[in-house]
Amino acid sequence: MSGRQAGGLLVAGTTSDAGKSVLTAGICRWLARRGVRVAPFKAQNMSNNSAVVVGPDGRGGEIGRAQAMQAAAAGIAPDIRFNPVLLKPGSDLHSQVVLLGEAVDTVSAGSYRALRPRLAGTVFETLAELRAEYDAVICEGAGSPAEINLRAGDFVNMGLARGAHLPAIVVGDIDRGGVFAALFGTLALLSAEDQALLSGFVINKFRGDPGLLRPGLDMITNATGRPVHGVLPYDHDLWLDGEDSLAYGSTLGRPAPPVGRDWLRIAVVRLPRISNATDAEALAAEPGVRVRLTGTPADLLDADLVVLPGSKSTVSDLRWLRDTGLADAVTAHAAAGKPVLGICGGFQMLSRTIHDDVESRDGTVPGLGLLPTEITFAPRKTLGLPHGSAFGTEAVSGYEIHHGQVSTAGAEPFLRYTDGRPEGAIAGPVFGTHWHGAFESDGFRRRFLTEAARLAGRHGFTVSPDTSFAAARARGLDRLADLVEEHLDTDALWRLIESGPPPGLPFIPPGAPA
CB 184 within 8 A of CB 215: no
Does residue 407 contact residue 424 with C-beta atoms inside 8 Å?
Answer: no
Is the Cβ–Cβ distance between 252 and 286 less than 8 Å? no
Q: Are 395 and 444 in contact (CB under 8 A)?
A: yes
Q: How many Å separate Cα 197 from the centre of its chain?
A: 28
Question: What residues have CB less than 8 Å from 138, skipping those under 6 apart?
Answer: 8, 9, 11, 24, 27, 28, 31, 38, 39, 40, 41, 70, 497
Angle at 456 between CA 453 and CA 457, to 5 degrees: 85
Neighbours of 46 (CB within 10 A): 17
Using omega within 30 degrees of 0 as the cis cutoff, is the peptide bond preceding 257 cis?
no
Smallest CA-to-CA distance from 445 within 213, 271, 210, 280 is with: 280
CA distance 167 to 62: 28
Nearest alpha carbon to residue 76 among 123, 42, 31 = 31
CA distance 329 to 23: 39
The single residue of 229, 402, 434, 436 carrying the catalytic annotation is 436
Contacts of 110 (CB under 8 A, 6+ apart): none
Q: Is residue 431 within 8 Å of 423, Cβ to Cβ?
A: no
Residue 404 in contact with residue 371, Cβ under 8 Å?
no
Q: How far apart (Å, rounded) are the C-alpha atoms in residues 276 and 6?
A: 33
Verify whether residue 436 is a known catalytic residue.
yes
Q: Mapping DSSP to helix (H, G, I), strand (E, B) and coil, where does residue 475 land?
A: helix
In 22-152, where do the E strands start and end? 38-41, 44-46, 50-54, 60-64, 85-89, 94-99, 102-108, 136-140
Cβ distance 426 to 419 under 8 Å?
Answer: no
Report d(CA 30, CA 40) in Å as an integer: 13
Give me the catalytic one of 229, 344, 402, 403.
344
Residues identified as active-site: 344, 436
